[in-house]
Amino acid sequence: MLLPSKIPQASSCKAKVLIFDFDGTVADTRTIALRILNELSQEFHFRSLPEEEIHEARNMTVQKLISFLGVSRWRVPMIARRGLAKFQERISEVKPIAEMPEILAELKSRGFQLGILTSNSEFSVTAFLKQHHIDCFEFISTSSKLLGKSREIRKLMKEHQWNADEIIYIGDETRDIEATKSVPIRIAAVTWGYNSASILATMDPDFIFDQPKQLLTLQPNH
C-alpha cells in the first residue's frame, strides 16, 4: 500500500531547473533491469532475484541489495559496466513511463530547464529519447559510479552557476535522496520506479509523488 503523496505547497514548489533520473523515473526499465540482473547473476555467480522477492528488494537501499545478492563490493563496478552494455543492446525495448512524454513537454513549455543525471550511459539515454521523440532536455549528464551523483550535481551547479534553491532533482531510489541531501538540493522522490514508497518516505524527501501527473504541481521560478 502506497503512503500518502507529499505534494509541494505553493511556497516550496518553485524551481528553475528540474533534473531527472532516467531508469525508473522517465523510462520504464524495471522488467529489463531485472532480466539483466538475473543474467549477470549467472555470469558473476551471485544470487538471482526471483519475482517473488521483488517486493522485498524494493524496500532495500542499494547497499543492502548488494549485500542481499551476495555481491562483493569490489566487483560492483565490473558488474555495472557489463549491465550497461547489456542494457544498451536492448534500449529499443524500453518504453517511457506512462504519460511522461506529455508531462515533460508541459514542464518544458512552462519555462523549466530540464536535464537528466543518470548512472546509465549517455548512448542509451540519447537513443531512448530519439526513439520516443522526446526533445525536452537541455543536457544529459552521467555518473560512472553507482553512488556518485552528488559529485555530478555539484559539477552541474558550478558549470551552469545554479544556486541550490533553484534545483529540484526527481528520482526513484534511496541513493538519489542520499545524493541530493549531501549537496544539498531539494528532491522529489517518485514511487513508480525501483524503490518502494515506504523506504523512500523514511528518508524524508522534500516531495513524494505517486503519479507522474503530480510533477505538474511544481512551478517555474522565473
For 79-102, the pLDDT digits (tens) are 999 999 999 999 999 999 999 999
**pLDDT tens, 184-212?**
999 999 999 999 999 999 999 999 999 99
pLDDT for 146: 63
Q: How distant is the alpha carbon of residue 99 from its chain centre?
A: 16
pLDDT exceeds 60 at position 168 = yes
pLDDT exceeds 80 at position 11 = no
What gap in Å lies between CA 161 and CA 184, rounded to an integer?
Answer: 15
Please give the single-letter amino acid code of residue 124.
S
pLDDT exceeds 50 at position 45 = yes
Instruction: Detail the DSSP E strand segments found in the chain.
Output: 14-15, 17-20, 27-28, 95-96, 113-118, 139-142, 167-171, 186-190, 207-209, 219-220
Please give the single-letter amino acid code of residue 89.
E
Q: In what order do the strands lie in the sheet containing 17-20?
A: 139-142, 113-118, 17-20, 167-171, 186-190, 207-209
**pLDDT tens, 174-188?**
999 999 999 999 999
CA dihedral 105, 110, 113, 118 (to 10 degrees): -40
- pLDDT mean across residues, the chain: 92
What gap in Å lies between CA 122 and CA 189, rounded to an integer?
Answer: 22
Largest distance between two CA atoms of the chain: 52
pLDDT exceeds 70 at position 69 = yes
